[in-house]
Chains A and B, each alone.
Chain A
């Protein structure tokens, strides 16, 4: 019996006007998305590889160990994701690289390379009207909530008005099965055009030489497909829920209003509101002032000590161990300065990211926001990806410094004081040995960061579907 209803529902939908319109719109949008992404992605990849080559060449041109630690690995770039057509992730607002923090010189003491995070200083080159990119997130959050509503608002109420619902219930079938079969009918009717558009999109993309999907990417795409279906399920279930209780016209109005609030307005306002109520963090000016104050303090204090020690040594003829302690002091100074500055930079960045994440936590009330974050994680773009990139950079800098220490320890003439020119090995290094930064995106990272959101989506879908069954059980026919 359930198959019977399902089949009838499906045929009904497929023959309807809304199905035709849905298919048309879906295909038009997905094809546009693919075509535009083809061109953009090529540009992105070219820019990235150009930047990386420049940065690596600079690094390989170093021959002294000291310049390596003094200048550091240079600018490290974030690799653009091949799947950025799924979610743009607000790329315009996220820095693409990690830089070397400001350096300073005090007399004959020079600071060493410090990881710094660039301030977002957008040059306002973009005079185009403000808008959002047409990525899958846009297509899915709007269309895959709006169209399920249009399919489901009259699923139960319409039949009730025509009187066919009574006929249906006269059969030996439970009410919840009717709801489930209607649910499945709509889901299949929606998934069909989406699958077609999805495959078309991927086919167009894979014709490009710039885009090569790795096996992990296919896994991501498959998961994205499931996530989209799950998201559609939520709105079908909500539609059925409302349709079980209200008459047809009213159910359309109520559903549209719910849609406007949940999909259009909640993701836009909740974040801002949450930020307003969260604990404020330092402004850029305040942060810069504290950092400058700290740097200046340590520098004046240490310079004074440094000059005293030097004068002392000059007066009573340099002893070898005294000279060594002088150098050790210098080394400790520059390393301390670097570590503290790095900690400050990282803490500030993390405070910034944490504030956004807290705000996003509130936004998850809306499934539209949840699906956006999930897709961003899957596409390896957006805030989570930026955090992973920063972690990658930190791991790499650790490795890079480890490498310097190792090379230095081989040289027996060196004093093994890392961070000052007098204390380090002077032997030329082979450029091939220097570790190179590789920004890797692993499937596991994406999956882990998307896991919570995905379970939230499944939970939403489950709750609303059971809600629909319950509502229908108690509805008068």
Chain B
């Protein structure tokens, strides 16, 4: 009996014009946007490669250690076409400097293409599913029960030897199978399109991630179908049910996420906190100035860095408290060179120590302000299943805040690697730190930066809370519907 029910439901949906129209629209949107998104990904990949070349040229142009300008670039995530998350919003270029520990907020975005094009908001594939499939699910659900009641066929159904709850189960399964069709077809099309492009190579892990997204999408679509079913059981007329469904859709999917993010600011104003941290950091850095003066007073060096009482030619760039020095010394300054080397050795060691100290303060403050705010936003937005779905897909893909923090961690590791490299080459204490008159720096041993995304289990671990909440919502809604349906007068 249950099977007959499922088949009847499935076929009636499958044959309906709305199903046909919706499938066509979904597929069109998916194909269209996948093409656009692949193109966009390829452009970003090209930009990434250009940037990398530019960064490498900058490294090779440095003749002394102190003139090194080291930048690293976050590679674009090939799965970001499923869910963009924070990927494009956060900068992808990070400067690595020995006396500055890079945090997530130190990245900067440089647009190679026209920056005004950012006025056009971008979408991803998860957004299409989020909007179109949920709407489709509601359109299937809003008249599932109330429609049958109005036409009188519900009485016939109830008179059959089948319990009311299995009646609901049958309706649910029939409709869900039908809803899965457009999803499966779109995924198939996406995979076909992806396999035709050479720039995106999907690894087995990526396929697991995509299946994770698939599961999440099923749970998400099912929620909206159940909302439709629930409203349809509650309301007497199809017209009322349709109105309630449509309004809850527009509120949950379109309005609430924007509203909550725009309105709620639980962390409050962070200007005070930020400026106080800035003051603290500046105070710590004052120690460097004191140390510099003390060192110069106790040594034959005179005057101010980086020239002291040296003579010669050279280029000096100064900014943000950093000296980039490339000198060619006159012979009479030679005897001062060991002192200058000693100077840079002492000061750099101090700077590295203080950089770690300030990094701790800055990190904590960031945790308290921006990251806290972002987590709160997520939490509040997650009251809507649509946002829950967005965050879950971003977590699968690795473009959520945690994924971005992974990158920040990698940059910090690389920063430490740079310091180790400098120590290993004895760069701070060498003449090459400030002068290139007796040979220039050979950068062939400079450690290279690699960023590998965390493996799929980490992604799964991050996505599972959202998936769990989605499933719980499903159960609650289903239970509620069954309860109402059992007590209903037909």
A→B interface (CB under 8 Å):
16-18, 21, 25, 28-29, 32, 35-36, 90, 93-94, 119-134, 138, 142-143, 146, 150, 154, 158, 249-250, 252-254, 256-257, 260-261, 264-265, 268-269, 271-273, 275-276, 281, 283-285, 352-353, 355-356, 359, 363, 382-383
- Report if B181 contacts A (CB, 8 A): no
Smallest CB separation, A370 vs chain B (Å) = 15
Q: Is the CB of B18 within 8 A of A249?
A: yes
User: A273 vs B86: C-alpha distance in the bound complex, in angstroms?
Assistant: 22
Question: Could you say which of A142, A146, A272 contacts B36, with CB atoms under 8 Å apart?
Answer: A272
Question: Could you say which of A120, A143, A154 contacts B115, with CB atoms under 8 Å apart?
Answer: A120
User: A359 vs B22: C-alpha distance in the bound complex, in angstroms?
Assistant: 28
Q: Is the CB of A150 within 8 A of B108?
A: no
Known: A142-B255, A150-B246, A249-B143. A264 touches B115 (CB 8 A): no
User: A126 vs B270: C-alpha distance in the bound complex, in angstroms?
Assistant: 12
Within 8 A of A (CB), among B88-102: 88-91
Per-position binary interface string of chain B over residues 114-138, scored 1 when its CB falls under 8 Å from any chain A CB and 0 otherwise: 1111111111000010011001000
Besides A124-B105, A131-B262, A273-B36, 14 more A-B contacts (Cβ < 8 Å) are: A17-B243, A25-B251, A94-B119, A124-B104, A127-B104, A128-B261, A268-B120, A268-B122, A268-B123, A285-B50, A285-B54, A352-B114, A356-B116, A356-B117
Question: Could you say which of B22, B115, B240, B250 contacts A142, with CB atoms under 8 Å apart?
Answer: B250
User: A93 vs B113: C-alpha distance in the bound complex, in angstroms?
Assistant: 13
Q: Is the CB of B120 within 8 A of A127?
A: no
Question: Could you say which of B240, B250, B390 contacts A146, with CB atoms under 8 Å apart?
Answer: B250
Known: A127-B374, A249-B143, A260-B132. A122 touches B257 (CB 8 A): no
Known: A21-B247, A260-B132, A284-B112. A124 touches B91 (CB 8 A): yes
- Report if B421 contacts A (CB, 8 A): no
Q: Is the CB of B86 within 8 A of A130?
A: yes
User: A355 vs B117: C-alpha distance in the bound complex, in angstroms?
Assistant: 8
Question: Could you say which of B88, B123, B250 contacts A143, with CB atoms under 8 Å apart?
Answer: B250
Q: List 16 A-B contacts (CB under 8 A).
A: A119-B115, A124-B105, A126-B89, A127-B86, A127-B371, A130-B89, A154-B239, A257-B25, A264-B131, A269-B33, A269-B36, A271-B120, A276-B36, A284-B111, A284-B112, A382-B119
Interfacial chain B residues near A281, Cβ < 8 Å: 114
Smallest CB separation, B190 vs chain A (Å) = 16
Question: Could you say which of B114, B244, B251, B381 contacts A129, with CB atoms under 8 Å apart?
Answer: B381
User: A133 vs B254: C-alpha distance in the bound complex, in angstroms?
Assistant: 12
Smallest CB separation, A162 vs chain B (Å) = 11
B→A interface (CB under 8 Å):
17-18, 21-22, 25, 29, 32-33, 36, 39-40, 50, 54, 84-86, 88-91, 104-105, 107-123, 128, 131-132, 135, 139, 143, 239-240, 242-244, 246-247, 250-251, 254-255, 257-259, 261-263, 370-371, 373-374, 377-378, 381, 387, 390-391, 401, 404
Interfacial chain A residues near B390, Cβ < 8 Å: 129
Which of A32, A146, A249, A355 is the most central at the interface, judged by chain B CB atoms within 10 Å of its CB? A249
User: A93 vs B36: C-alpha distance in the bound complex, in angstroms?
Assistant: 21
Known: A93-B118, A126-B89. A260 touches B131 (CB 8 A): yes
Q: Is the CB of A260 within 8 A of B135?
A: yes
Interfacial chain A residues near B104, Cβ < 8 Å: 124, 127
User: A158 vs B238: C-alpha distance in the bound complex, in angstroms?
Assistant: 12
Interfacial chain A residues near B25, Cβ < 8 Å: 257, 260-261
Interfacial chain B residues near A284, Cβ < 8 Å: 110-113
Interfacial chain B residues near A275, Cβ < 8 Å: 114, 117, 120
What is the predominant secondary structure among interface residues of chain B facing chain A?
helix
Known: A138-B258, A260-B131. A17 touches B244 (CB 8 A): yes
Interfacial chain B residues near A93, Cβ < 8 Å: 115-116, 118-119
Q: Is the CB of B258 within 8 A of A134?
A: yes
Q: Is the CB of A36 within 8 A of B263?
A: yes
Smallest CB separation, A129 vs chain B (Å) = 5
Interfacial chain A residues near B381, Cβ < 8 Å: 129
Q: Is the CB of B117 within 8 A of A253?
A: no
**Chain A minimum-CB-distance residue to B105:** A125
Known: A32-B262, A120-B111, A123-B108. A269 touches B123 (CB 8 A): yes
Interfacial chain B residues near A90, Cβ < 8 Å: 118-119
The 7 closest A-B pairs by CB, nearest first: A271-B120, A120-B115, A124-B91, A134-B262, A253-B18, A124-B90, A93-B118
Interfacial chain A residues near B22, Cβ < 8 Å: 253, 257
**Chain A minimum-CB-distance residue to B271:** A43
Smallest CB separation, A245 vs chain B (Å) = 13
Q: Is the CB of B116 within 8 A of A353?
A: yes
Q: Is the CB of A32 within 8 A of B40?
A: no
Question: Could you say which of A122, A253, A260 contacts B109, with CB atoms under 8 Å apart?
Answer: A122
User: A154 vs B243: C-alpha distance in the bound complex, in angstroms?
Assistant: 11
Q: Is the CB of A256 within 8 A of B135?
A: yes
Smallest CB separation, B247 vs chain A (Å) = 5
User: A33 vs B31: C-alpha distance in the bound complex, in angstroms?
Assistant: 36
**Chain B minimum-CB-distance residue to A257:** B25
Question: Could you say which of B89, B113, B116, B139 contacts A256, with CB atoms under 8 Å apart?
Answer: B139
Q: Is the CB of A123 within 8 A of B91?
A: yes
Q: Is the CB of B122 within 8 A of A124?
A: no
Smallest CB separation, A251 vs chain B (Å) = 11
Interfacial chain B residues near A272, Cβ < 8 Å: 36, 40, 120, 122
Q: Is the CB of B107 within 8 A of A124?
A: yes
Interfacial chain B residues near A383, Cβ < 8 Å: 116, 119
User: A356 vs B118: C-alpha distance in the bound complex, in angstroms?
Assistant: 9
Q: Is the CB of A283 within 8 A of B113?
A: yes
Q: Is the CB of A130 within 8 A of B84?
A: yes
Known: A126-B89, A127-B104, A265-B29. A133 touches B114 (CB 8 A): no
Interfacial chain A residues near B108, Cβ < 8 Å: 121-124
